[in-house]
Amino acid sequence: MRTAHPRTFNVNTPLVDQLPPEARTQRRRLRACHECDWVCALPPLNSGEKANCPRCGHTLVKRNRLPAQRSMALAMAALVALALAVSFPFVSFNVSGVSNRIELTQTATTLIGFHQPIVAMVVIMTIVVLPALYLVGVIWLQLGLLRERPLLFSRDIARSLSHLTPWMMADVFIIGALVSLIKIAGLAQIELGLSFWAFCSYAVLLLMTTQSIDADWMWFALEGEPLAPEGTRTGTTAISQGLVGCPTCGLINALAPNAKGHCVRCHEKLHHRLPHSLQRTWALLAAAAIMYIPANVYPIMTTTSLGSSSASTIIGGVVELIQMGSWPVATVIFIASVIVPVGKLIALAWLCLVVRQRHRLNAISRTRLYRITEFIGRWSMVDIFVVAILVALIRAGSLMSITPGPAALAFGAVVVLTMLAAMTFDPRLIWDAPSPDQRSQNAPQGAIDG
For 109-142, the pLDDT digits (tens) are 999 988 899 999 999 999 999 999 999 999 999 9
Is the model more confident about 421 or about 256? 421
Stated pTM of the model: 0.86
Is the model more confident about 13 or about 40? 40
pLDDT for res 361? 59
Tell me the backbone φ, ψ of residue 253, rounded to 5 degrees.
Answer: -125, 150
Q: Tell me which residue of 75, 68, 78, 217 sits closest to 144, measured CA to CA.
A: 68
Q: Dihedral of CA 406/407/413/415: which sign? A: negative
d(Cα 89, Cα 412) in Å, to the nearest integer? 26
22 pLDDT band (50/70/90 cuts)?
low
d(Cα 170, Cα 182) in Å, to the nearest integer? 19
329 pLDDT band (50/70/90 cuts)?
confident
Is the model more confident about 52 or about 10? 52
Q: Tell me which residue of 42, 47, 12 sits closest to 29, measured CA to CA.
A: 42
Tell me the backbone φ, ψ of residue 88, rounded to 5 degrees.
Answer: -125, 165
- CATH architecture for segment(s) 276-433: Up-down Bundle (1.20)
Q: Tell me which residue of 430, 427, 370, 450 sits closest to 39, measured CA to CA.
A: 450
227, pLDDT greater than 80: yes
d(Cα 92, Cα 86) in Å, to the nearest integer? 15
Q: HSE-up of 260 (CA within 13 Å, CB side)?
A: 2
pLDDT for res 244? 93
For 31-78, how does the pLDDT look when each residue is reduced to its tens digit (9 = 90+)? 999 999 999 998 888 888 899 999 889 999 998 888 889 999 999 999
Mean pLDDT of 156-170: 92
Beta strands in 241-373 (DSSP E): 243-245, 252-254, 261-262, 269-270, 301-305, 308-312
d(Cα 301, Cα 404) in Å, to the nearest integer? 4
d(Cα 429, Cα 313) in Å, to the nearest integer? 38
pLDDT for res 433? 57
Beta strands in 39-88 (DSSP E): 39-41, 50-52, 59-62
290, pLDDT greater than 70: yes
396, pLDDT greater than 80: no
Tell me the backbone φ, ψ of residue 395, rounded to 5 degrees.
Answer: -135, 80
Window from 161-165, 173-177, 436-440 with minimum mean pLDDT: 436-440
- Chain centre to alpha carbon of residue 1: 38
Q: Tell me which residue of 30, 28, 26 sits closest to 38, measured CA to CA.
A: 30
Sequence-distant (6+) residues with CB within 8 A of 310 are 302, 303
d(Cα 278, Cα 425) in Å, to the nearest integer? 6
Integer angstrom CA distances of residue 272 from 57, 215, 246, 393, 428? 20, 22, 10, 50, 9
- Chain centre to alpha carbon of residue 330: 25
- Chain centre to alpha carbon of residue 404: 26
In the chain, pLDDT over 90 holds for what percent of residues? 47
Q: Which long-range contacts (CB under 8 A, 24 or more apart) does 336-343 make?
A: 336/379, 336/380, 336/382, 336/383, 337/380, 337/382, 337/383, 337/411, 338/314, 340/376, 340/377, 340/379, 340/380, 341/288, 341/292, 341/380, 341/414, 341/415, 341/418, 342/292, 343/373, 343/376
Integer angstrom CA distances of residue 139 from 59, 175, 359? 25, 27, 47
pLDDT for res 441? 44
5 pLDDT band (50/70/90 cuts)?
very low
Amino acid identity of 369?
L
Mean pLDDT of 167-174: 94
Scored b (16 or more CB within 10 A) or e, 87-106 reads ebbbbbbebeeeebebbbbb
> Chain-wide mean pLDDT for the chain?
84
Window from 73-87, 215-229, 433-447 with minimum mean pLDDT: 433-447
Range picked from 160-169, 176-185, 349-358 for highest mean pLDDT: 160-169
pLDDT for res 307? 66
